[in-house]
Structure 1
Amino acid sequence: MAYLLEHGFTRGQAGRTLFLRKIGKQLLIAQIYIDDIVFGATLDSLSYGFANEMKYEFEMSMIGELNFILGIQVKQTNEGIFISQSKYAKDFVKKFGMEGKTHARTPMSTSIKIRTNPTGKNIDPTLYRNMIGSLLYITASRPDITFSVGVCARFHANPKESHLTAVKRILKYLSATVDYGIWYSKDSNLTLVGYSDADWVESANDRKSTSGCRFYIGGNLVVWMSKKQNSISLSTAEAEYIAK
C-alpha cells in the first residue's frame, strides 16, 4: 500500500484498500485484499503497464482476466459484466441441509411479522449466527434478500425456533434462485439516480420503521441498503421523510 501511495495513487473514499491513479482524463483503479490485487483502467494500456510495474517491483504473477474472487463470480462479455455468488449459494444451501427442499417464491412472508419470542423453543445460537453471517455475505450480489436477512439478523442474540424457520425460508428462496446476480451493462449512461422508501412501524417489537434505498448509475445498480430507523415515526409521511 505504501508503494502505491508513493507512486501517484490516492486512497478511495469507499475503503482503505481502494486506490486510484488519475492520468489526465484516464483512471486506474486497484483494490487490494491481503496479497491479491484486482485492478482495471479506462485504457487497456494502463492495465498492462500496471501489471508489469507490479511484477517488476514485487514477486507476483498476473493471473489474467478476473472471473472469481472471494466467492464472487465475475463474467465479462462485450455487452457488460455479470456478478453472482451462485457457487457460494449452492454450497451454503447444501451445508445447512436445505438442498432439494420445497422452494419458496419469496424470501419472507408478507403476512407474518417476526418478533422476539421469549417463550419460544431455544435453538443453537451458533448455528443461527453462522447462517446469518453467510446470508449477509450473499447480499453482496443479492439485493433481493437484503431486507429479509437484515430482519432475521436482529434476533441473533437470542434466536428461537420461529426465527430459524424464517431463515430457512430465505434458504428455500435462495435454493430456487441461486443463479441470480447483478448485470452491469456497458451501454448504460452515467446518470446517477437514487430511490428511497420506508415502511411504517414494520418492527413488531419497537414499532420502528425500516428505510430502504437503491442508487443506479444509468441502469446499473451500484448501492443498496436496508436499515431500521433510529426513532419511531408517527405517520407514513414521517417514515418516508426520514428515509430520504
Structure 2
Amino acid sequence: MSAIDSCDEPKTFRQASLNHEWREAMKKEIKALEQNGTWTLEALPKNKRATDSKWVYKIKYKQMESCKVGYYSYLVGRGCERNWIIHQLDVNNAFLHGDLEEEVYMKIPDGFAKQGEARVCRLRKSIYGLKQASRNWYQKFTKALVELEFRQSKADYSLFIYKSERSYVAALIYVDYVVIVGNDSVKIQHTKDQLDEMFRIKDMGPLKYFLGIEVSRTKEGLVLSQRKYTLDILRDSGLEGCKPSSFPLEQNLKLGKGEGEDKVDSSQYRRLVGRLLYLQATRPDITYAVNILSQFVTDPRQNHMDAATRVLRYLKSTPGQGILLPKEGGMNLLSYCDADWLGCPLSRKSRTGYLLSLEGAPISWKSKKQSVVSRSSAEAEYRAMATTVSEVIWARWMLSELEAKQGEPTVLFRDNQAARHIAISKQSSLP
C-alpha cells in the first residue's frame, strides 16, 4: 500500500514532459501506434475538421491484488470459495485492434508534431476516445473468445464461459482488462497463449490492482477495499488532517434545496459526488448518504457541501474498510430490503434500499428514490420488495452460470407486516 500511495500520476502533458520516465513512455506509445498502422499523416481536407488529442497518464500497479465488486464479486467469490486460479490479463493497445470504417482526422499528439507541420493524422484504426472504438474492440474480442470455445453469458454479455466435463473457466472483460477464473490451469494457459498471438496481451499473474480496487489475501478469503482511492479523495479535498466522524450523516438529517444558503462551486461538488459514487463499489455503508448528496448536483449550496464533508470525515476514520469474500462456507443467497416512506422532503417520494449477500458477503446493494409517490408505508415497502426481487432473479441467474445454482428459494428479509401480507395473498391467489 505504501508503494501505491507514493506514486502520483501527471494530469497534463506539461507535467509529464518534466519526467524522463514519462517521456520515454510516450515515445514507446507513439512507436507502437505507428507500427500498428493506427494512422497516416495527410493534409486535412477542406470540408473536414480534425479532433483534438490528449495524453492520459495512468500507472498500472503489479503488487496489489484486486477486483471489481458488484457482479465481479460473483466470479471472484466463486473462485475463492473453490480455490480456483484467479488471474488478470491486460491487452496492449486494445482499441488499436479494432478496424475503423469511418473517415476520422485527429491532430498530432502533443510533443510529436514537427515545427510548421500542417498535416494531421487520418485514423485507420480505432483509438481511445472515439465513439466507435469500444464497439469495434468488443466485437473483435468477443469473436476471438467464441473461436476459443467460450460461450457468451446471457446474464451478462461481458462474461464468457468455457465448460466441459472436468473443466470450468470463466473470463470477464472490462474494456482491455480481463479477469480469468477457473479450475483448469492448462486451459487457462492455452487461452492466454491464443489471446497473446491475436492481441499481444500482458499476463499480470494472480489478480492484481484493478480499476482502483485492492484485494488482500488472508486465510479467511479475499478482502476488497479502495484505500488508495479514498486517500486520494481526502488529499484532493484538502481534508487529510480533518477530524474523523463516526457516522457518514447526522441522524435524522433532512437536506432541502438550501435556497437561503450560500452557493458553492458546482463543478467541485459534482466531481466529489461522482468520486463517492464509485467508492460505493466496496462501501455499502455510504450508499444512502451518497444517494442523498447526488440530488443537489445541479445547484449545490453550503449545507450540501457540509454534508459531503461529513461523509469525507467518516471516510477519514475508515479508509481501508471494505468487503470480505470468505473462502469457507457455501453459496447461499440472502436478500434484505427496506424503504423510508416519504423520505424525500422535496418530492415526497420514498427510497428503496436493498442488499444481497452470499454467506454474509455483500455482493449487490442499492439506495434509490422510487419513481412515484407511495400513498402508504405498505405501498413503499412493497415497491422496495418488488425491486429487490428483480435483482434476486438476476443474481440467481448469474450464479447458475457460475456453477452455483441455488437449490432453495432465496429468503427476502423486510420489516413491514402489511407488505408481507400483500405478498402472501398474491402468492396464494396464484394457480
Question: Structure 1 length as normaliser, TM-score?
Answer: 0.93
Q: Which has the higher strand share?
A: 1
Change (3 A) 1:76 1:47: farther
Alpha-carbon RMSD across the aligned residues, in angstroms, is 1.7
1:106-153 deviation per Cα after TM superposition (whole angstroms, max 9, x unaligned): 111122211112232111110000000100010001000011001100
Which residue does 1:225 correspond to in 2? 366
After TM superposition, give the deviation of residue 234 of structure 1 in Å. 2.3
Instruction: Give the 3-state SS of the residue equivalent to 1:104 in structure 2.
Output: coil
Which residue does 1:92 correspond to in 2? 233
Structure 2: distance between partners of 1:109 and 1:11: 46
In 1, are the aligned partners of 2:208 and 2:214 still within 8 Å (CA)? yes
Stretches of structure 1 that go unaligned for 5 or more consecutive residues are: none
After TM superposition, give the deviation of residue 15 of structure 1 in Å. 4.2
From 151, 163, 167, the counterpart of 1:10: 151
After the TM superposition, which of the residue ranges 96-105 and 18-27 deviates more from structure 2?
18-27
Which residue does 1:207 correspond to in 2? 348
1:49-80 deviation per Cα after TM superposition (whole angstroms, max 9, x unaligned): 32233234332231211121111102234431
In 1, are the aligned partners of 2:269 and 2:305 still within 8 Å (CA)? yes
Instruction: Give the 3-state SS of the residue equivalent to 1:184 in structure 2.
Output: strand
After the TM superposition, which of the residue ranges 48-57 and 169-178 deviates more from structure 2?
48-57
1:68-97 deviation per Cα after TM superposition (whole angstroms, max 9, x unaligned): 111110223443111100011011111101
In 2, are the aligned partners of 1:75 and 1:82 still within 8 Å (CA)? yes
Change (3 A) 1:199 1:58: same
Structure 1: distance between partners of 2:215 and 2:192: 20
Which residue does 1:70 correspond to in 2? 211
Which residue does 1:106 correspond to in 2? 247
From 169, 175, 179, the counterpart of 1:28: 169
- Which protein is bigger by CA-based radius of gyration? 2
Change (3 A) 1:167 1:234: same
In 1, are the aligned partners of 2:234 and 2:312 still within 8 Å (CA)? yes
Change (3 A) 1:163 1:222: same
Structure 2: distance between partners of 1:198 and 1:42: 41
Structure 1: distance between partners of 2:185 and 2:216: 18
In 2, are the aligned partners of 1:67 and 1:75 still within 8 Å (CA)? no
From 260, 263, 271, the counterpart of 1:119: 260
Structure 2: distance between partners of 1:239 and 1:77: 41
Structure 2: distance between partners of 1:25 and 1:200: 51
Question: Structure 2 length as normaliser, TM-score?
Answer: 0.54
After the TM superposition, which of the residue ranges 135-144 and 44-53 deviates more from structure 2?
44-53
After TM superposition, give the deviation of residue 13 of structure 1 in Å. 4.5
Instruction: Give the 3-state SS of the residue equivalent to 1:63 in structure 2.
Output: strand
Which residue does 2:287 correspond to in 1? 146
Amino acid in structure 2 at the alignment position of 1:135:
L
1:144-203 deviation per Cα after TM superposition (whole angstroms, max 9, x unaligned): 001100110011011111111111111000111101000000112111111111111111
In 2, are the aligned partners of 1:188 and 1:219 still within 8 Å (CA)? no
After the TM superposition, which of the residue ranges 150-159 and 21-30 deviates more from structure 2?
21-30
Q: Which has the higher helix share?
A: 2
Structure 2: distance between partners of 1:147 and 1:188: 29
Instruction: Give the 3-state SS of the residue equivalent to 1:202 in structure 2.
Output: coil
Structure 2: distance between partners of 1:42 and 1:216: 24
Count residues in correspondence. 244
Amino acid in structure 1 at the alignment position of 2:235:
K
After TM superposition, give the deviation of residue 222 of structure 1 in Å. 1.1
Stretches of structure 2 that go unaligned for 5 or more consecutive residues are: 1-140, 386-431
- The percent of aligned pairs where both chains have the same amino acid is 34
Structure 1: distance between partners of 2:171 and 2:272: 31
Structure 1: distance between partners of 2:214 and 2:273: 21
Asked if 1:37 corresponds to 2:178, the answer is: yes
In 1, are the aligned partners of 2:227 and 2:319 still within 8 Å (CA)? yes
After the TM superposition, which of the residue ranges 230-239 and 185-194 deviates more from structure 2?
230-239
Change (3 A) 1:207 1:130: same
After superposition, where does 1:48-59 map in structure 2 within 5 Å? 48-59=189-200
Structure 2: distance between partners of 1:64 and 1:49: 14
